[in-house]
Amino acid sequence: MPLPAPLLLGLIVASGPARAATPEDEEAGAELVVTATRTATARADAPVAVELITREDIVASGAENLADLLEGQPGLDVERSYLGAALRMQGMNPDQVLILVDGERVLGAKDGVIDLGRFPVENIQQVEIVKGPGSALYGADAMGGVVNLITRAPDEPLRADLHLRGGARGTADASASVEAKGERLSGQLLAGLHQSDGYDLTPQDEATTASAFQQWDVSGQGRAALGPNLSLAARGSGMRRNLQGVEVSGGGAVLDRLSTIEELQLGLTPRLLLGARSMLTLGASGSLYREQQLVDQRGATALDTYEDHQERLGELSAQLDRATGERHLLTVGAEAMGVSMESPRLDGGAGARGRAALFVQDVWRVPGVSGLSVVPGARLELDSWYGFVPTPKLALRWQAAPSLTVRVSAGTGYRAPSFKELLLRFENPGAGYVVQGTPTLRPETSRSLQLGAEWAASDTLWLSANVFHNDLSDLITITTLKAASAGQPAQYGYTNVASAWTAGLELAAQSQPAPWLDLKLSYTLTESRDQSLQQPLEGRARHRGTAQAGFDLQKLGVSAQARAALVGARPLTGDTDGDGVPDAIEAPAYAALDLRVEKQIWGRGAVAVGVDNLLNAGDPTLLTMPPRLVYCSIDLSHPRRTGA
Amino acid sequence: MRLLPTLIPLCLGLACAPDLREDRATDSLPQDADTGGLVTDGETRSLTVNATAVDVWVYLSLHDGALLSPADPLQDDTWQLALQRYNLAVNGGVSGAGGVEVSPVEGRDLDGLSAAPAEGWRTDLADADGDGVPEYALGDWYDYDATTHVLSPANRIYALCDGAGACFKLSIEGYYDDAGTPAMLSLRWAPLPPR
């Protein structure tokens, strides 16, 4: 049911676009999300379904990074490869899912994959997941959905936290934070250190499966109330990650691969109340991403390479939220963005793009139909490479009964061609094949329909169902411009030729049969079809289920959690007969199980032991997930923790 | 983008990691610069040729296994075979004035070939498919795995005769050396009676 106008406005005033909810909001009793509408909204009232991973969920999972956290989430598919941990949802590719940190884009995608493993969870307050196209609000790359990482904000007058974890394979994690919150000023500093020896699923050869790494990250944020109507939020974060791995080339060369990733993000968000019913939020942000890659051939230098890739992003935004009458909440905004990349793999060594956008959305409580809200929205984006792209969307939310909510949405999404797809110029030094970008590429586009319902069957049982269908057009695929022939290596390029669809059903149930027991179950059916190749899209499991059981024995100060993911067979391609022609293969089904037990100590923290991937699922070629990991951890906080 | 110049100085402590090359000693082996030694077994010779340079041809005399540096390769008849990565040219046709021709022989039995074939002779021809690269007579020496991008010798060897009537049998044994470096071409050849 929609919030009363005063509270609604209060939420508008208290929060800006894609920002964490404030404690005042939480005291209002609503579980707040921002990703569905770019404005703080009670999760239950959001016009599109928002899946929420709270700080409590994060702590209980034992996950240290976003990849581990999302692996067991309903309907999400984390696929690991040499590119890192990639996220799929609703059968869509990783580059068709937009990942945001506090509403801002992140850099550093490789072959379209943003490695989820590089995001530590220590500074995340909550993760908001909106499935289905989000381009009407967020623009490019939100075809399959949006994952928004909301960073932690100070919520106590003075507090310090320490987290330590150690485990097998040289796994060590440490993080510490201090925060202070006053009437007018608040701030937080956080630092983390993470390392692992990686793992090797093929010990019979020199190659490693996952690189060893060491990562340092620091972040901080401050908020100031500069007057009754003006507030200012500033945030910054920095990260350095060193990786070491070994690869064996097709020709037998053993290559030591070293890389150093550095990332810096800064943002400034002033908010201004305009009268009693409007708020203006401005934003300025910038990001730097640099990745050095060094390849050192063992026993020779012919294949030694060094590459320095750098990306820069600057963004300005303005958003006005205005409550009109009792029935409208209007959001209008504008954004301008510039991105550049320097890489020896780009033709000319560099690329740049500019993008500007206008967006509008209205949350309209329809008169005469109780509990019905209609949310039309649209975004018009102008990109310096391919021109205008409009992305309209219409969402509907109907509170059919006090316990039953129905949501329907239809919208469009698109993905911008990457710099690599536009400007790549790569020639393999050994085999001689050439891959070149295509500057005339158009964006990939999608049309989507989502239909869902949530039913609070009782005080202890909650059920939901969602069906989706996504039509994908102008998909960018690599194509053979010139086939290899006698004495002539192949030439490859990119074209907008493919089309595909994905469709499916997502079911979820949550129950608390006893005060000490919390159960969650989910099942996702995903069908997909590459209409050009007339075969299922690669890597998508048709059946996927998750189960989670949480036990909380408060009298003993003990809690425990078991998380399981059951993933069906996945269609893949690979050369199985050595004839150089890809063959259809099927990766077998697997089950992953994580366990964790925690004991409160001294009222100021907890110790925990856990096992990730207890069943040791995984294989060297078709499922390169981390092997079983046993760990223990300790958390301390001062003053005593009042929540997770 | 105007924001960036102001942001960049703020990252001095972060986005200025040391150059990865500074702490990494690179290997240095003779094979990176030189061709491996000639091995003679009776009349059969074996040689690994470093043809890794992208834009440099390496010229080889099959008579004595010497690598040559002809001043004018197009007018020089002392070489029979030239190598540049996966490209193998013969001193004939558009590649040279040596009158070299080759004839493929299916199979990999170099020792079993005792006479030059009667048919199938060809030499390097001008570009016919418009890609700017000549149609090399030895252009089919390898098979290409499009999945792994690995080159491996095709199931054939070659008979090769120059304009003076000297003939050889030639096998390309491999494209990679023990370190896995591509374009380290292993060759094996022996004289054949004149055709």
Q: Rounded CA gap, B144 and B142, in Å? A: 6
pLDDT at B30: 43
Name every chain A residue with its beta carbon within 8 A of the beta carbon of B178. 252, 299
Q: For residues B121 and B142, give the distance between their C-alpha atoms in angstroms, rounded to a whole number.
A: 18
Nearest by CB to B182, which of A259, A294, A429? A429
In a domain, B91, yes or no: yes
Q: How far is B42 from chain A (nearest CA, A)?
A: 30
* B10–A266 CB contact, under 8 Å: yes
Mean pLDDT is lowest, of A325-329, A516-520, A544-548, B175-179, for A325-329
Q: Which residue of B has its CA nearest to A312?
A: B4
Q: Is residue B8 part of a domain?
A: no
How far B97 CA lies from chain A's nearest CA (Å)?
Answer: 21
pLDDT at A563: 96
Give the percent of chain A with pLDDT over 70: 94
B-interface mutation test, from A282, A296, A576, most B Cβ less than 10 A away: A296
Measure B73 CA to nearest chain A CA, in Å: 20
Q: Which residue from A minimizes the CA distance to B152? A: A251
| Cα A368 to Cα A5, A327, A373, A395, distances in angstroms | 18, 12, 11, 18
The answer to whether B178 contacts chain A (CB < 8 Å) is yes
**pLDDT mean over A39-51:** 89
Q: Which among B3, B151, B180 has the least Cβ separation from residue A431?
A: B151
> Which of A94, A135, A140 lies closest to A117, judged by CA?
A94
Q: Give the distance from residue B94's alpha carbon to the nearest chain A alpha carbon, in angstroms.
A: 15
Q: In this predicted structure, what is the pLDDT of residue A276?
A: 84
Select the residue from B125, B136, B147, B175 to test the A interface by mutation, using most A Cβ atoms within 10 A: B147
Tell me which of A55-59, A273-277, B22-26 is least confident: B22-26
Does the beta carbon of B155 lie under 8 angstroms from any beta carbon of chain A?
no
> Is the CB of residue A601 less than 8 Å from the CB of residue A564?
no
Residue A15 pLDDT > 50:
no
| Distance from the A15 Cα atom to the nearest Cα atom in chain B, whole angstroms | 24
| Class level of CATH domain A5-178+240-343+355-440+447-487+503-578+590-638 | mainly beta
- Supply the Cα-derived Rg of chain A in whole angstroms: 24
pLDDT of residue A484: 72
In-domain check, residue B6: no
User: Is residue B26 assigned to a domain?
Assistant: no
How many angstroms separate the CA atoms of A320 and A332, rounded?
Answer: 5
Answer yes or no: is B25 within a domain: no
- Given this model, what pLDDT does residue A155 score? 84
Residue A60 burial (10 A CB sphere; 0-12, 13-18, 19+): buried
CB contact under 8 A, B147 and A316: no
By Cβ distance, the residue of B13, B87, B146 closest to A484 is: B146
Q: How far is A407 from chain B (nearest CA, A)?
A: 39
The full 3-state SS of A477-506, as one line of letters, equals: EEEEEECCECCECCEEEEEEEEEEEEEEEE
Nearest C-alpha in A relative to B182: A430
| C-alpha distance from B25 to closest chain A C-alpha (Å) | 9
Give the per-residue pLDDT at A1. 34
Task: Identify the residue with better confidence: A487 or B8.
Answer: A487
Tell me, yes or no, whether B20 lies in a domain: no
Cβ(A484)–Cβ(B86) below 8 Å: no
B20: chain A residues, CB-CB within 8 Å: 258-260, 292-294, 306
What parts of chain B have a pLDDT lower than 70?
1-15, 25-36
| Contact list, A260 vs chain B (CB under 8 Å) | 17, 20
Distances from the Cα of A515 to the Cα of A58, A61, A459, A598, A603, angstroms: 20, 19, 12, 17, 21
How is residue A249 written in tokens? 């080339």
Amino acid identity for residue A223 in this structure: R
Angle (CA) B10 B11 B13, round 5°: 110
Q: State how many domains chain B has.
A: 1
Taking an 8 Å cut-off on Cβ atoms, the answer to whether A574 and B147 are in contact is yes
Is residue A242 predicted with pLDDT exceeding 80? yes
Among A325-334, A491-500, B21-30, the least confident range: B21-30
In single-letter form, the type of residue at position A166 comes to G
> Best mutation site among A288, A305, A481, A579 for testing chain B: the one with the most B CBs within 10 Å?
A288
Distance CA A512, CA A387 (A): 51
The band of A329, judged by pLDDT with boundaries at 50, 70 and 90, is: very high
Closest Cα in chain B to A251: B180
Residue-wise pLDDT for A172-205, tens only, equals 999 999 999 999 999 999 999 999 999 999 999 9
Q: Is the pLDDT confidence value at A108 over 70? A: yes
Supply the pLDDT for residue A4. 36
Q: Which domain range does residue B159 map to?
A: 34-192
Q: Is residue B18 part of a domain?
A: no
Both tokens of B47, joined, read: 């040689």
Distance CA B15, CA A287 (A): 11
The domains of chain A are located at 5-178+240-343+355-440+447-487+503-578+590-638
Which of B2, B95, B145 to probe the A interface (max A CBs under 10 A)?
B145
Question: Does B90 map to a domain?
Answer: yes
Residue pair A540/A551 in contact by the 8 Å Cβ criterion: no
Three-class HEC string of A123-175: CEEEEEEEECCCHHHHCCCCCCEEEEEEECCCCCCEEEEEEEEEECCCEEEEE
Q: How confident is the model over B52-96, as pLDDT tens digits?
A: 888 899 999 999 999 999 999 999 999 999 999 999 999 999 999
